[in-house]
Amino acid sequence: MVKIRLSRMGAKKNPQFVIVAANESACRDGKRFEKLGFYYPKAKNAKDKIKIDLEKYESWKSKGAQVSLTVEQLVQATKA
C-alpha cells in the first residue's frame, strides 16, 4: 500500500522534511515513489515553511494512497 508521509532530511537540530509517496513497508528515509513537496519547520517566513505540489498530491490520493495525519494537517494549512 502507498502512503503519503514525511521523510526527514537535514542536520541535527535543523530538521527538514520531504513530503513523499512511498511504500508503507519501506523505512522512513528509504525508497520513495515520488517527491511531492517540502516542509521546513524552522523557516523564517510562514510561506516558506510548506511547499507542496497539490496536483501530484491529489493524483496519488485518487489512486488510493493513504495520507498520514501530519501531512493532512500541513496540506490543510496550505489550502487555508
Nearest to 50 by CA among 13, 14, 11, 6: 6
pLDDT at 64 > cutoff 90: yes
Q: What is the pTM of this model?
A: 0.87
Predicted pLDDT of residue 24: 82
SS3 23: strand
Query: Which CATH number does the domain housing residue 38 bear?
Result: 3.30.1320.10
Range of the domain at 61: 2-79
Nearest to 61 by CA among 29, 34, 40: 34
Count of domains observed in the chain: 1
pLDDT at 13 > cutoff 80: yes
pLDDT at 29 > cutoff 90: no
